[in-house]
Every structure is written in structure tokens, then in C-alpha cells.
């Protein structure tokens, strides 16, 4: 077993952390400290660094609640983040050292929402196998609707009818650098009307994040006669384009605004990308499927990629000993 050590992230690690994230095979801009810390008032940071001597081996973006650690509740995905140099046994060692460190610090449980496979630059399931060995419990599984843009995908007749409606309605898609119109006129009213909910990000938060990551966070609005009728907020990473928010006014079916918008994005703006991720259509911790929403995404040619959530007791570090044959 590798003789690794673990310590907590400190503010003076800011530059080195971000440099490590930039070279990791299973990281995106969500793990940059500027993104992680925009909501630091809501989450008590407990991010960890795994070390081989003075060399960084892996990091764990995390927050703490009581005696439990989460990777990270303010992020869409997480877990141990590492470079392509780290082989399977080294990841097992990194997880063992991390669990041991947490148990010694009176943390009883670690919850990990894994990075979906499409976001990694190289195969990166070493952590999944390590979690299996530690007898981690699968507590949730979400289904992401994903289009492989570099393979043949079929857009259904129904979606193309919506595109034709958009053309006949003389809709226009415009990329904007401001978010006020979409947030105030479309997104917030729609979420209140349909779900009595608010966006995860406030307008001020998304504006701040865009100022830090202007190439990664992009806003596309749909206009009819200069009036906004729909839009989507895109989180763009190296391999994946993800629709973080999708919303339209109540006339979306009549004028085909969302069909028109997404057809344009996947066939024009992002056609050179590898994957387009519509996100989940799940509720109730993954145990319910919004079939109408899932069907709409699949009608663009999207198919399912899973995201797993695991809980592992920190005392289980001992289960990662004596596993080699």
C-alpha cells in the first residue's frame, strides 16, 4: 500500500489546487476554487489533499455537515480527482488514506456523487472500483440524457416539427453576456409557476460565476420580434456541453422555441464537441423519472449515462488492506 498522507485544504493552496485541477483527468471548471467558493457562506469547506511526500496525488472537493463529509453538496459531481498518471492501486491507496484520515478526525461517513464518465479526459473508473472494495453503499442513481455528437444521432420527426414552427415564427437565437432577461422574464417565473421553486443560482451568483468563467458559462436566448421567449444557460467543459437551465414561456409548444433552440445548438454552435448533456429527468433521489421530460430529450437522439451516489463508512478503510494477489 502506498504511503500517502492527507491534509485539509488551506487558502494558501489556492494556486496549486487550481493548477492540479487543470491537469486532472476527471476534473472540470466546477472544481476551480473560484467556482467552489461562490457559495462558501452556505457550505463549510472540508476539501482534502492526498500527498506522496510533498507531491500532490489527488484532491477531494468536499464540505462537512456534523460528522459527515460530502463531495461537495454545492457541486453537481465530485469525488477523488486525480491525473492520468495515477493507476488503479494508487487510487485504492488514496481512498484508504482518505478514509483513515477522516475516521481519525471523528468523521463517520463520506458521501460521493461520482463524476459521470463523459466528463473525464481518459477512462476514470478507478474510484468506482475502489468504492466497491470499501463496501460503499449505492444510495442513488440518476439518469443523464446525453447526445454523442461525434456519432450518428437521430432527431425525431416531432422535434423537427418544432424546429419548423420556430422558423415560421421567425425566431432568432442570440448569445448574450448578460443574464437579466432570461432570469427575470423566463426562468424565475417558469420555475415558480411549475414547481414553486427558484433557480439554484441567483442572478447575482450566475453573473459572478460568468465573470470568472466567461468561456465556460454561456447564455443563449430565443427572441420573437425582439421579445425573449426561451433560453438556456450552458456550462461548457472540455468534452461536454451541459444545459444547466432550460426554460421558455407558456407558448413554447405553439412556436417551437425550445426545439428550435436546441436543434441550433447541437447542429451548429456545439457540433464539434463530444457530448451534449441535457442533465437528469429524475426526482425523489433518482427513484422517479419524469417521462415527458426524458422523452423530449431522447427525441433529439440523447441516450442514458448514469451518475452514481455512494456512502461509505470511514472505518471501512481497513477493507482496502491486503487486497493484492
Q: Where are the beta strands (DSSP E) in 259-323?
A: 275-280, 282-283, 288-289, 303-313
Does some domain include residue 284? Answer: no
**Both 262 and 193 in a single domain?**
yes
- In this prediction, the residues of the chain whose per-residue pLDDT falls under 70 are none
Q: How far is CA 51 from CA 6, 26, 40, 97, 244, in A?
A: 6, 18, 25, 10, 34
**Both 30 and 66 in a single domain?**
yes
Does some domain include residue 292? Answer: no
**Both 129 and 53 in a single domain?**
yes
Q: How far is CA 75 from CA 34, 119, 138, 160, 192, in A?
A: 12, 14, 19, 34, 23
Does some domain include residue 288? Answer: no
Does some domain include residue 299? Answer: no
**Both 229 and 257 in a single domain?**
yes
**Both 133 and 191 in a single domain?**
no
Domain count, the chain: 2
Give yes or no for a contact between 232 and 245, defined as CB atoms under 8 angstroms apart: yes
The pLDDT score that the predictor gives to residue 194 is 84
Give yes or no for a contact between 134 and 314, defined as CB atoms under 8 angstroms apart: no
**Both 261 and 175 in a single domain?**
yes
Does some domain include residue 267? Answer: yes
* Nearest in space to 60 (alpha carbons), one of 29, 28, 98, 18: 98
The H-assigned helical ranges of the chain are 14-23, 33-36, 88-104, 126-133, 157-168, 180-181, 188-195, 203-212, 252-255, 257-264, 291-298
**Both 39 and 109 in a single domain?**
yes
**Both 16 and 134 in a single domain?**
yes
**Both 133 and 155 in a single domain?**
no
**Both 39 and 106 in a single domain?**
yes
Q: How far is CA 179 from CA 86, 227, 252, 277, in A?
A: 40, 14, 20, 21
The pLDDT score that the predictor gives to residue 209 is 97
β-pairing verdict for 282-283 and 288-289: antiparallel
Tens-place pLDDT, residues 95-131: 999 999 999 999 999 999 999 999 999 999 999 999 9
Across the chain, which distance is largest between two alpha carbons, in Å? 69
Tens-place pLDDT, residues 181-197: 999 999 999 999 988 88
Does some domain include residue 287? Answer: no
Q: Distance between CA atoms of 289 and 89, rounded to whole angstroms?
A: 37
Does some domain include residue 128? Answer: yes
**Both 95 and 119 in a single domain?**
yes
Does some domain include residue 295? Answer: no
Residue numbers of the domain that contains 227: 151-273
**Both 137 and 10 in a single domain?**
yes
> What CATH number corresponds to the domain at position 25?
3.40.630.30
Amino acid at each position: 500500500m502506498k504511503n500517502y498522507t492527507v491534509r485539509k485544504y488551506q487558502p494558501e493552496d489556492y494556486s496549486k489546487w487550481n493548477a492540479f485541477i487543470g491537469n486532472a483527468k476527471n476534473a472540470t471548471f466546477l472544481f476551480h476554487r473560484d467556482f467552489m467558493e461562490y457559495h462558501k457562506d452556505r457550505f463549510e469547506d472540508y476539501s482534502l489533499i492526498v500527498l506522496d511526500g510533498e507531491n500532490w496525488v489527488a484532491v477531494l472537493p468536499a464540505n462537512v455537515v456534523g460528522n459527515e463529509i460530502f463531495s461537495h453538496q454545492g457541486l453537481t459531481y465530485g469525488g477523488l480527482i486525480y491525473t492520468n498518471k495515477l493507476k488503479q492501486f494508487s487510487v485504492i491507496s488514496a481512498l484508504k488514506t482518505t478514509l483513515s484520515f477522516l475516521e481519525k478526525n471523528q468523521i463517520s461517513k463520506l458521501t460521493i456523487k461520482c463524476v459521470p464518465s463523459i466528463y473525464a479526459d481518459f477512462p476514470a473508473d478507478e474510484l468506482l472500483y475502489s468504492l466497491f472494495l470499501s463496501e460503499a453503499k449505492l444510495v442513488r442513481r440518476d439518469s443523464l440524457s446525453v447526445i454523442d455528437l461525434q456519432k450518428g444521432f437521430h432527431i425525431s420527426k416531432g422535434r423537427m416539427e418544432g424546429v419548423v414552427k420556430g422558423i415560421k415564427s421567425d425566431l432568432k437565437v442570440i448569445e448574450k453576456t448578460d443574464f437579466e432577461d432570461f432570469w427575470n422574464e423566463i426562468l424565475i417565473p417558469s420555475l415558480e409557476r411549475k414547481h414553486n421553486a427558484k433557480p439554484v443560482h441567483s442572478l447575482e451568483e450566475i453573473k459572478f460565476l460568468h465573470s470568472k468563467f466567461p468561456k465556460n458559462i454561456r447564455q443563449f436566448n430565443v427572441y420573437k420580434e425582439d421579445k425573449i421567449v426561451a433560453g438556456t444557460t450552458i456550462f461548457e467543459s472540455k468534452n461536454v456541453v451541459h444545459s444547466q437551465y432550460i426554460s421558455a414561456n407558456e407558448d413554447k409548444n405553439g412556436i417551437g422555441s425550445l426545439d428550435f433552440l436546441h436543434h441550433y445548438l447541437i447542429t451548429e454552435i456545439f457540433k464539434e464537441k463530444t457530448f451534449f448533456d441535457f442533465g437528469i429527468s429524475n426526482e425523489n433521489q433518482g427513484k422517479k423519472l419524469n417521462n415527458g421530460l426524458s422523452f423530449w430529450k431522447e427525441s433529439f437522439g440523447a441516450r442514458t449515462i448514469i451518475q452514481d451516489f455512494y456512502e461509505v463508512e470511514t472505518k471501512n478503510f481497513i477493507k482496502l488492506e491486503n487486497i493484492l494477489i
